[in-house]
Amino acid sequence: MRIVKGVGEMQNFSREQRAKGRTIGLVPTMGFLHEGHLSLVREAVKQCDCTVVSIFVNPTQFGPNEDLDSYPRDFERDKKLCEKEKVDAIFFPQEQEMYKKPLTFVEVKELSRLLCGKSRPTHFQGVTTVVAKLFNIVRPHRAYFGLKDFQQFVIIKKMVDDLNFDLELVGCPIVRERDGLAMSSRNHYLSPEERKQAVVLNRALSKAQKMFGSGEKNPRKVRKAVLDCIAATSSRVDYVEIVDSESLQPVQEIKKGNLIALAVFFGKTRLIDNRLFE
């Protein structure tokens, strides 16, 4: 497995792979890999001749008072996990390699201002900028993203369509802990008590699905039930919204395929989760 730190070296590696007729799968990550990331890696290894995992804690997607400095990092552990999964290369650039006083940013308007964008107004511009750069550096045929970050996936899809990136996006299902908590590197921040309480998110989403399954189509009633469920814990809700899964705009009546998405703070840790109504 190659560890590639330079942009030029990564571009050469990908050029060689393409020249040999090999398909490249990219799994973009910020490291501290968990089963959610590994499910993307396994999918890439299955579908592509060459799998590249990028590990870069991207500063431009963190707001001024967010957790950039404390974001968990463990490259040696990540390396072992990637080796085990038969990853071909890790792209592991330093910040100076990725950002040289840039004046160019990629912004997907409107979609980036909804849901998480309301409380994290610069977040998605940071994500789309770094993902566009990774696409230009790694030149993948396919790129794999987890659907826990559903809004991120919708926004990246729009960017790929708008800017004609020649690649296929693959969205992979949320991977959950045994008790239902969606896997996230940020779960690491939770105290034992917060960790116990955080299972309420999946329970609240299940409650929403159950109500819809029993015929409830009123988003206000379903949202209220979800909020009531969460209110039983000592958490702080950032948002709970029921939206169209493409436009991310609120719906007046819930239909199959609509999305319920939420963000909730447990202590200082902000967790997100979502579900598509079935």
Question: Amino acid identity of 53?
Answer: V
- Taking the complex as a whole, the smallest distance from the CB of residue 110 to ligand PAF amounts, in Å, to 19
- Selected from 10, 50, 114, 131, the binder of ligand PAF by CB under 6 A is 131
Tokens of 195: 């960790």
- The span from the CA of 233 to the CA of 210, in Å, is 21
- Selected from 78, 149, 194, 273, the binder of ligand PAF by CB under 6 A is 149
When the beta carbons of 171 and 217 are compared against ligand PAF, the nearer one is 171
Cα–Cα separations (whole angstroms), residue 132 to 15, 105, 140, 259, 277: 17, 9, 11, 26, 30
- Taking the complex as a whole, the smallest distance from the CB of residue 127 to ligand PAF amounts, in Å, to 5
Closest CA to 27 of 186, 138, 114: 138
- Selected from 24, 111, 130, 155, the binder of ligand PAF by CB under 6 A is 130
When the beta carbons of 130 and 208 are compared against ligand PAF, the nearer one is 130
State CA 121 to chain mean position distance: 16
3-state secondary structure of 237: strand
Q: Among residues 34, 37, 123, 141, which one is catalytic?
A: 37
Q: Is 34 a catalytic residue?
A: no
Give yes or no for residue 187 binding ligand PAF (CB under 6 A). no
Q: Which residues contact 208 (CB under 8 A, 6 or more apart)?
A: 222, 225, 226, 242, 260, 275, 277
- Taking the complex as a whole, the smallest distance from the CB of residue 171 to ligand PAF amounts, in Å, to 12
The four Cα atoms 120, 199, 208, 172 give a dihedral, to 10 degrees, of: 70
Stretch that binds ligand PAF, among 100-108, 125-133, 216-224, 241-249 (CB under 6 A): 125-133
Nearest 5°: phi and psi at 195? -60, -40
By CB under 6 A, the residues from 41 to 100 that bind ligand PAF are 58, 61
Stretch that binds ligand PAF, among 106-114, 123-131, 191-199, 236-244 (CB under 6 A): 123-131
Residues that bind ligand PAF (CB under 6 A): 28-30, 58, 61, 127, 130-131, 149, 152
